[in-house]
Amino acid sequence: MRNVFVLLFVCLTSLLANAQESVANRWVLNPDQSITWKKGSGVLPHYDHIEMAGRKVATVVRYGINENGGFYLNRGMVWPMLRTIPNNTHASLMRRFAEDPIAKVQVNGRALEGEQVQEISLNGLMTVVSQFSQSLELKRVLFPSVSLPAFCENYTLTNKGEGTLKVEIPSSESVIQTNPEEGVAGSYKLVFKQTGKTVVLKKGEEVNFSVSIAGYKSGESETAINVGREQKLREALIADFSANLVLETPDPVLNAMFRFAKIRASESIFETKGGLLHGPGGESYYAAIWANDQAEYVNPFFPFLGYVTGNESALNSYRHFARFMNKEYNKLPSSIIAEGDDTWGGAGDRGDAAMIAYGASRYALTRGDRQEAETLWPLIEWCLEYSHRQLNKEGVVQSDADELEGRFPAGKANLCTSSLYYDALISASHLGKEIGKSSSQMKTYLQQAAALRKSMDKYFAAKVEGFDTYQYYEGNDVLRSWICIPLTVGIDERKVGTIDALFSPRLWTKEGLLTQAGSETYWDRSTLYGFRGVLAAGETEKAMSYLTYYSNHRLLGEHVPYAIEAYPEGSQRHLSAESGLYCRIFTEGMFGIRPTGLKSFTLTPRLPKEWNEMALRHIRAFNGDFDVEVTRKGDKLQVTVTNNGKKVLSKIAKEGTALTVKL
């Protein structure tokens, strides 16, 4: 009866997935891996939002095409270092600007009329092409400055008609001085500036003008913003992300979604007085770090990409957490906020020490820098000891909550915290050996990990809603998406029942995994962990149908082009660390890269049956620059690793074989 029940669930889920895949996309994928929304694609009006960021500014761009075919634009500006009062987690200066620079342009003495958007393209910048009834074509290019506190807009008008057109573009500047009583540094100056000129355009000729929206502290000198130059700098940054850690598979959507994820994961890093701090974003979370979003989710990804700024922000975040180590082993803050000046821990102990130990040990190994590893070791060691002291009488880790901070019940000990602590013990045993720590201490870590694994199975293993899986906490009798966590750390005793549960109609929806069966809430982070775990567990074909659907939906559907945080909370914000989790589906799940030393790792590739080959190129981890190529050879896989042009591994192995690689 149990087998029939599971088979029915699987069949229903398969039908659901197939139905989802039949929904038409609004966007199309281009050969250069950009995406475009073309006129006539989908019902109008349609509106969406995307976040973009630079070192000193972030902007949530709310945009769309109205019922008449015209363009809608509203810029949600955020200046993370212009702090407001009270200087808490959400105290970045924020303003919305809906000004339309085109509304003031005159053509032959009249305002432009009859805009028809032809296409909108996303490629790390937003490009909008429209036509007006006066035979003018308009191209808008919207993007944040890489290093200035400004959002930039480049406008190009081209005469597409037969006659000449007199175009008058007004120059303008408007200034807002904020209330000095509301700013930590007093009044802030917000400057909306538009360049202007008057020209006569013959057929085929064009004219360019620009807009910038910038924010400054009182007494700070305004910067002369060359929008054309800023566009080139932004394009160069996107090109750099694109050139490193390149995913090559037969599926162009996966390749492109991976590329977009690198952009969003990496752009949201801010130059604060506390150093470089990666921020989630979402018009809420800036100039601050969290034990989950930064320490656990995105920091272990940056060494793979080799993004210097990302690596620096990761190291800096761990240094900030290390400030709060104490001899009494009181809990660490969940978040360090306000450019490093304050902390937040309103949900109590969320298992933060386990998150930090997990992320820091994986980061240090993958980074491959001995000096950084030695710097991070005291923090890792402290967090492991703290977690050990939180073991209950059943041998699993107690905490007040989990990273959802009480939104859903987590009991007194949850599956996620213990899983992260387990993985951290294993990673730390590898790291300690690399930097010369005592073999007895490393042996103890491995013994503690083995004991914890047994205790976790005894404490959390349960039949939940008919599936042989895990209760998320003691007494939990409703399926939870975080049952996927053990699979991501190599605990696979209950993988069959867990995977069946994850992809059952009780948890899987058209938007990914529900946080809890029977609810309407979904957080992409659990879906992304789930894909990584299912691939790591070797259930490649089962993972691929859902991963392919999810990637297509997020990249080309109605809300694009990144992984999102949650719904209904946050209106599917493009929080940045989730995109790091998307990339880790491939680095750690599909390619199975698990660091074992500063220059070594195991590699367990999972090549889908319908693919003959796949590759990850220019992987910058372990202080290298290496490619991993996987090619099907009959019922086996040919795996080749080439570092800086030198072949370091070439082996034919069975699917699921863990190969040892030393660079």
- The torsion defined by the Cα of 105, 108, 112 and 116, in degrees rounded to 10, comes to -130
Asked whether residue 497 is assigned to any structural domain, the reply reads: yes
* pLDDT given at position 23: 59
Domain that holds residue 396: 244-590
Mean per-residue pLDDT for 272-279? 98
Contacts of 107 (CB under 8 A, 6+ apart): 132, 134, 136, 165, 166, 167, 168
Cα–Cα separations (whole angstroms), residue 430 to 240, 306, 313: 31, 21, 23
Distance separating alpha carbons of residues 158 and 203, to the nearest angstrom: 8
Distance separating alpha carbons of residues 29 and 27, to the nearest angstrom: 7
Shared domain check, 434 and 298: yes
How many domains does the chain contain in total? 3
Report which residue type is found at 230: E
- pLDDT tens-place string over residues 61-114: 999 999 999 999 999 999 999 999 999 999 999 999 999 999 999 999 999 999
- pLDDT tens-place string over residues 342-375: 999 999 999 999 999 999 999 999 999 999 999 9
Helical spans, DSSP H, in 111-251: 227-243
| End residue of a domain, out of 211, 236, 261 | 236
| pLDDT of 278 strictly over 50 | yes
* pLDDT given at position 24: 81
Q: Closest by alpha carbon to 264, among 475, 13, 36, 58? A: 58
For the entire predicted model, the pTM comes to 0.95
Per-residue HEC secondary structure of 15-56 comes to: HHHHHHHCCCCCCEECCCCCEEEECCCCCCCEEEEEEEECCC
The CB density around residue 438, as the number of other CB atoms within 10 Å, is: 10
Asked whether residue 24 is assigned to any structural domain, the reply reads: no
Q: Closest by alpha carbon to 610, among 175, 266, 250? A: 250
Asked whether residue 17 is assigned to any structural domain, the reply reads: no
Task: Identify the weakest region by mean pLDDT among 17-26, 413-422, 499-508.
Answer: 17-26
Contacts of 645 (CB under 8 A, 6+ apart): none
Q: Closest by alpha carbon to 266, among 290, 301, 293, 215? A: 301
Shared domain check, 397 and 294: yes
The CATH code of the domain that includes 60 is: 2.70.98
Shared domain check, 354 and 212: no
Of how many residues is the chain composed? 663
Q: Closest by alpha carbon to 605, among 593, 617, 597? A: 593
Asked whether residue 436 is assigned to any structural domain, the reply reads: yes
The CATH code of the domain that includes 513 is: 1.50.10.10
* pLDDT given at position 123: 98
**103, containing H or E segment:** none
Asked whether residue 12 is assigned to any structural domain, the reply reads: no
C-beta of residue 58 within 8 angstroms of C-beta of residue 51 = yes
Q: Closest by alpha carbon to 397, among 357, 360, 359, 433? A: 357
| End residue of a domain, out of 547, 566, 590 | 590
Mean per-residue pLDDT for 395-417? 97
266 HSE (CA, 13 A, CB side): 30
| End residue of a domain, out of 207, 236, 265 | 236
Shared domain check, 204 and 341: no
- The torsion defined by the Cα of 229, 235, 236 and 237, in degrees rounded to 10, comes to 110
DSSP tag of 516: B
Mean per-residue pLDDT for 576-590? 98
Shared domain check, 285 and 252: yes
Q: Residue 67: phi, psi to the nearest 5? A: -65, -20
Shared domain check, 229 and 264: no
Map tokens 């008057």 to a residue. 198
Q: Closest by alpha carbon to 488, among 432, 404, 423? A: 423
| pLDDT of 19 strictly over 60 | no
Helical spans, DSSP H, in 306-414: 308-322, 352-367, 370-389
DSSP tag of 491: -
- pLDDT tens-place string over residues 172-210: 999 999 999 999 999 999 999 999 999 999 999 999 999
